[in-house]
Amino acid sequence: MRAIPLLLAAAASSSCATQPPAPTRTAEAQAEFVKLTAERVPGAPITCLPSYRAGNMTPIDDSTLVFKDGSRVYVNHLIGECSLLKSGFYTLVTRSNGMGLCRGDIADVADVRTGMTVGSCAIGDWVPYARRG
């Protein structure tokens, strides 16, 4: 009888550790992603983006953000989707823990006309892309 709860606990913990599936993108979104990461190679993921300016954010789709920092770009695959990000009427509003924009920080999608929150997601790990060479 005790084996079943232990197996269920092991299965639950292993499923939490897996990476989310790669987002499916439209051809237009994929072309934008390729353009922003062109001639760059991905580095090891980091948990916090120490500094950023909101104007440097480019939403690729409802699950992917890109921040530009000079010649380096940082890609974030959100935990959950922040629907409507690509619409011109919505913006991402984040609450930071003071260490930058970090994995697990909550991001809300807000209507820029009314200020109403229409959805939310969480920030994932950041993957830095640096120029080759």
- Which string of DSSP letters, residue by residue, matches 106-123? EEEEEETTT--EEEEEE-
User: What confidence score (pLDDT) does residue 54 get?
Assistant: 64
Tokens standing for residue 78: 């959100």
Question: Could you tell me if 65 and 129 are in contact, meaning their C-beta atoms sit under 8 angstroms apart?
Answer: no
Write down the residue that tokens 């959950």 correspond to. Answer: 80
Q: What is the pTM of this model?
A: 0.77
User: What confidence score (pLDDT) does residue 66 get?
Assistant: 94
User: What confidence score (pLDDT) does residue 5 get?
Assistant: 36
Cα distance between residue 14 and residue 30, in whole Å: 30
The listed range with the strongest mean pLDDT (4-13, 16-25, 26-35) is: 26-35
Question: Could you tell me if 42 and 127 are in contact, meaning their C-beta atoms sit under 8 angstroms apart?
Answer: yes
According to DSSP, residue 23 is labeled P
pLDDT at residue 19 is higher than 90: no
Question: Could you tell me if 74 and 49 are in contact, meaning their C-beta atoms sit under 8 angstroms apart?
Answer: yes
Confidence of residue 6 (pLDDT cuts 50, 70, 90): very low
Neighbours of 69 (CB within 10 A): 14
φ, ψ dihedrals at 9, nearest 5°: -65, -40
More confident residue, 65 or 85: 65
- Give the residue-averaged pLDDT of 51-64: 83
User: What confidence score (pLDDT) does residue 132 get?
Assistant: 83
Amino acid at 97: N
Dihedral sign of CA atoms 90, 45, 20, 23 in order:
positive
